Amino acid sequence: MTRNSARGRDRTMIRENRVGWLFSSPYVVYAVVFFLGPLVWAFWLTLTDWNLMSESWHWVGLANFTDAFQSEHVAAAFVNSFKYLGCVVPISLALATFLAFVLHGLPPKLKGLFSVLFFIPYLSSGVATSVFVKFFFSYSSSFNAWLRGTLHVKISWFTDPTAAFWIIVGIIVWKVSGYYALFLFASLESIPPEIGEAAEIDGAQGPRRFFRITLPAILPTVDTVLVLAAGLAYSIFSEPFLLTGGGPHLATTSWQLELYNASFVSFRSGYGAAIALLMAANIFIVIRAITAVMDRVTDR
């Protein structure tokens, strides 16, 4: 290559890079203003005792992080995040897979209608759902009256840590399973019918067909749903906020609830920002681990 043609190629690359940056600039500006800037500011906030109201503040170094590591509430949120992860992800994935197959097996005329019906819980307001659940499980509800009167069973739904935890898990699984089912349904619909026919000819049916043929075909979508569900497990807030306040005995508290309480109830904004950063680190590590495992499974 001559020097002139190399220079010409460099100028072309520079011109193309400028065009690329120009078209990318709206998102870059958006990311800087709404993500990177606040992230840097949040990190600065963790090093101060500012409550966002006072006109003065002081450096406190890593004291907010130290307080967070020593906090019983933050520890409970950390532990609960894994409990929610361990319950919400597999149950919602299993239910979503089941619903996807139900949809896949429906006549074409009904697929659209049922897709919408399965999606409705995802659209429902967390507040409205929580209010309904609160009344459903209240002492004098018809359900509890029947349990006590007919089955002679008395369950303290919101004062028993196990019962309260599973109520919240149940609400979240109900809310998202239909939504995830649509992802998996789309993936099932995209499997060429010839593959299914070939599998039948070869005698692969039932569970064997599912694990050897279907699941590998939809694995990338399962990976996506897994990551979404894992992220969801870390963003639980409305349900414990409205139903249990994080109790009983911190059994249902979450990262987001503790972050909210620190920042907007106790007005310890620096401490709340420290909780937020610890939560972000926790999410990053967990999601990274999940994607690493799924990458290996997908490669196989």
Partner 1 sequence: MSIRKTLLCLAVGLAFGAAASAQSGTVTVNFWTAPNQGQFTYWDGIVQSFNASKVKVGSKTIVVQVQKMPETPSSEAGIQNALATKTAPALSENINRGFAATLAASGRVYDIKDEAFYKSVVVSRKMEGIMPGWAIDGKQYVIPLYANAMGYHWNVTALKALGFAAAVPTTSADLAKLVAAFKGPQGAALKAKGVDHLFLRPQLLRPENWWERWFDFQMEYEAFSGGKSLVEGDKLTMDPKIAGEVFALFGSIGDAIQGEQDDTAFERAVVPAVVMVTAPWDIPKYKTAGKKYGLSGDYIYGPPLVRKAGDVPYTFADAKGLTFYKGGNITEEQHEAAVAFVSWVFAPDKSADNDMKWLTVTGMLPMRGDLTTNAAFAGFIKENPEYAEQAGWIAHSVPAMASARMTEILTALGEKGLAPYITAAMKSQSPVDPAPYVAEAITAMKKAGGLK
Listed as own residue / partner, the contacts of 212-217 with beta carbons closer than 8 Å and 24 or more positions apart are: 214/188, 217/187, 217/191
- Window 56-85: contact mask with partner 1 (x via CB under 8 A): x-----------------------------
Contact set for partner 1, span 159-218 (CB under 8 A):
159
Indicate which single residue of 267, 280, 282, 287 sits in contact with partner 1 (rule: CB under 8 A): 267
Q: Under the criterion CB under 8 A, does residue 158 sit at the interface with partner 1? A: yes
Residues in the chain: 300
**Residue 89 or 133 with smaller CB distance to partner 1:** 133
**C-beta of 62: minimal distance to partner 1 in Å?**
18
Question: Per CB under 8 A, which of residues 245..264 are in contact with partner 1?
Answer: 245-250, 253, 260-261, 264
Q: Considering only CA atoms, which of 76, 17, 51, 31 is closest in space to residue 247?
A: 76
**Binding of partner 1 by 266 (CB under 8 A):** yes
134 binds partner 1 (CB under 8 A): yes
Among 39, 42, 51, 199, binds partner 1 (CB under 8 A): 51
Per residue, what are the HEC states of 16-35?
HHHHHHHHHHHHHHHHHHHH
Q: What φ, ψ does residue 122 adopt, rounded to 5°? A: -65, -30
Cα–Cα distance list, 278 to 25, 39, 43, 146, 268 (Å): 30, 13, 11, 45, 16
Residue span 5-44 as binding mask against partner 1, x where in contact by CB under 8 A, dash where not: ----------------------------------------
Q: Does 54 bind partner 1 (CB under 8 A)?
A: yes
- Which residue type occupies 3? R
| 227 class by beta-carbon count within 10 Å (0-12 exposed, 13-18 middle, 19+ buried) | middle
Which token pair is 144?
A: 């509890």
Nearer to partner 1, 221 or 252 (CB): 252
Nearer to partner 1, 158 or 255 (CB): 158
Tokens representing residue 245 in the block: 């306040």
Residues 90-109 that bind partner 1 (CB under 8 A): none
d(CA 48, CA 214): 53
Tokens of 286: 């967990």
Out of 140, 193, 201, 299, the only residue in the binding site for partner 1 (CB under 8 A) is 140
When binding is defined by CB under 8 A, the residue of 265, 296, 299, 300 that contacts partner 1 is: 265
Q: Return the number of the residue (174 or 267) whose C-beta is nearest partner 1.
A: 267
Which run of H or of E encompasses 274? helix 269-299
- Contact residues for partner 1 (CB under 8 A)? 51-56, 134-135, 137-140, 144, 156-159, 244-250, 253, 260-261, 264-267
